[in-house]
């Protein structure tokens, strides 16, 4: 019996056998990989990737369930004849042959039972209970030519395979009705023989009934396992989509909040000196224009990537297992190499930023480089908007196993709040990278933001 076999419609010639790729998102990482998923019903011209090691064409293990049902019936027929002949090493056949089995009417009954089996097996896909009924009728017809007191296990093998298939691929209620129908036929056969005064093989029939129950339980377990796997996949998909959207929200917040803060400072400075120092006002307005254009270009890049993702989804190139384009939407973002430029822009806006680097600088993974820059950017933005001071200091400490970030100012400080998006976004970024984060007023005055981002072994 093939494990996990489920009924399947034959693939149409105009229907591609390859399913859309599934996007896999690693928590805390910007890396996204596409894992192609292949359907069992793929055509002979489409093969899985070579890395999967699957043979070309359709494997016999992926045969449709009706084929396994017919094979089980044929195996039962062969066994039925084998146990009625004396095999090497035996003094006599294990089972005495009945009167009808080798006569034309007995052979005809077996042929009719075989035809019923094939018809029932092919019908399992469309009408599982109807197909099972034909299989049960076949077992009764075949048994009538064997001169035995019960339906033998050999004539019930096809029914067992069908019970597994129905329980594994259909709703649990359908599976329960199927096993009840099978047990009812076994009990009814014994009852009719008992009422007619004929001998009954009750013990042997109980063993056959036990195999039917085991087949149903095995199929029901496979059905529940598949449902559980689908629930986990849906849950993982929803979590991945939520994480990606939160990541984009953080990027938008960090990008826009810093730029708007700089624009506000420059516009305020220009307003104060426009009458007395028009040149200074002109420079400040130039900075406002440059910062606004840069922010607008960044937003256009991100929205363009998301729009491309929507087109890809509409074209059916992605499945519900992934959200296309969200990872690409935030690719190409700045890193710690842009900190000096950030400091210069903030200094030009009126808040002097001093950048100190400690330790040997080394290339960082993309997610750490981007998160470190965003933490510095958001901390400096908070200084500009809330600290009420003219200077702050950014310290980047490159250690062997981690990158430490500290942003301090001598402003008015105050108790940290987790309700704003700035501190919350920084804390989420650090948490996704399994780092440490703290933010709060300093005893000597001012405010301190501190983060420690551990480095993976490959980056040390």
440 strand-pairing partners: 448
- Tokens representing 357 are 């680097």
CA distance 411 to 384: 10
Other C-beta atoms lying within 10 Å of the C-beta of residue 392: 25
404 strand-pairing partners: 397, 452
CA distance 361 to 22: 37
pLDDT at 329 (0 to 100): 45
pLDDT at 220 (0 to 100): 92
Each residue's pLDDT, cut to its tens digit, for the chain (460 residues) gives: 444 444 444 443 344 444 444 343 343 334 344 433 334 333 333 444 434 444 444 566 678 888 899 999 999 888 888 877 777 877 777 776 665 677 887 788 889 999 999 999 999 889 999 999 999 999 999 888 887 888 998 889 999 999 999 999 999 999 999 999 999 999 999 999 898 888 888 888 899 999 999 999 999 999 999 999 999 888 887 887 777 677 777 667 766 766 777 777 778 777 877 888 888 777 778 877 777 777 777 677 666 666 665 565 555 544 333 444 444 444 556 789 889 988 988 888 788 999 999 998 888 888 888 889 889 988 888 888 888 888 999 999 999 899 999 999 988 776 555 445 678 878 888 888 889 999 989 888 889 999 999 998 776 6
pLDDT at 98 (0 to 100): 63
CA 408, 414, 418 angle in degrees (round to 5)?
90
pLDDT at 149 (0 to 100): 82
Q: What are phi and psi of 48, to 5 degrees?
A: -65, 165
pLDDT at 15 (0 to 100): 40
The phi-psi region of residue 197 (left if phi > 0; otherwise alpha if psi is between -120 and 50; otherwise beta) is: left
């Amino acid at each position: 019996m093939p494990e996990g076999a489920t009924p399947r419609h034959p693939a149409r010639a105009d229907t591609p056998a390859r399913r859309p790729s599934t996007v896999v998102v690693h928590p805390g990482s910007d890396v996204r990989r596409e894992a192609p998923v292949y359907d069992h019903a793929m055509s002979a011209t489409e093969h899985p990737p070579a890395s999967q090691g699957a043979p070309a064409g359709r494997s016999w293990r992926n045969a449709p369930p009706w084929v396994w049902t017919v094979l089980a019936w044929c195996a039962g027929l062969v066994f039925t004849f084998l146990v009625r002949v004396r095999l090497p090493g035996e003094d006599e056949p294990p089972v005495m042959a009945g009167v009808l089995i080798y006569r034309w009417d007995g052979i005809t009954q077996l042929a009719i039972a075989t035809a019923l089996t094939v018809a029932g097996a092919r019908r399992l896909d469309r009408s599982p209970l109807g197909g099972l009924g034909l299989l049960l009728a076949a077992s009764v017809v075949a048994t009538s030519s064997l001169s035995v007191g019960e339906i033998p296990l050999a004539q019930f093998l096809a029914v067992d395979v069908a019970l597994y298939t129905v329980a594994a691929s259909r709703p649990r209620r359908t599976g329960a009705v199927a096993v009840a129908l099978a047990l009812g036929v076994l009990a009814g056969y014994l009852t009719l023989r008992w009422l007619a005064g004929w001998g009954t093989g009750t013990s042997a029939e109980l063993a056959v009934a036990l195999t039917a129950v085991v087949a149903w339980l095995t199929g029901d377990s496979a059905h529940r396992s598949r449902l559980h796997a689908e629930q986990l996949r849906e849950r993982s998909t929803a979590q991945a989509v939520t994480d990606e959207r939160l990541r984009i929200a953080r990027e938008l917040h960090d990008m826009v909040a810093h730029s708007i803060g700089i624009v506000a400072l420059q516009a305020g400075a220009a307003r104060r000196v426009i009458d007395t120092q028009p040149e200074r006002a002109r420079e400040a307005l130039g900075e406002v224009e440059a910062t606004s254009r840069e922010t607008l270009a960044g937003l256009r890049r991100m929205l363009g990537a998301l729009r491309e993702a929507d087109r890809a989804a509409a074209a059916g190139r992605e499945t519900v297992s992934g959200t296309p384009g969200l990872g690409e939407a935030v690719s190409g973002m700045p890193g710690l190499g842009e900190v000096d430029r950030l400091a210069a822009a903030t200094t030009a806006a009126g808040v002097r930023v001093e950048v100190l680097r400690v330790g040997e600088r080394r290339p960082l993974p993309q997610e750490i480089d981007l998160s470190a820059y965003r933490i510095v950017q958001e901390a400096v933005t908070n200084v500009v908007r809330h600290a009420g001071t003219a200077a702050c200091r950014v310290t980047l400490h490159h250690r062997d196993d981690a990158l430490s970030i500290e942003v301090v100012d001598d402003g008015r400080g105050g108790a940290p709040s987790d309700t704003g998006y700035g501190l919350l976004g920084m804390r989420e970024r650090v948490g996704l990278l399994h780092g440490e984060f703290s933010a709060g007023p300093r005893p000597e005055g001012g405010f301190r933001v501190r983060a420690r981002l551990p480095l993976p072994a490959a980056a040390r």
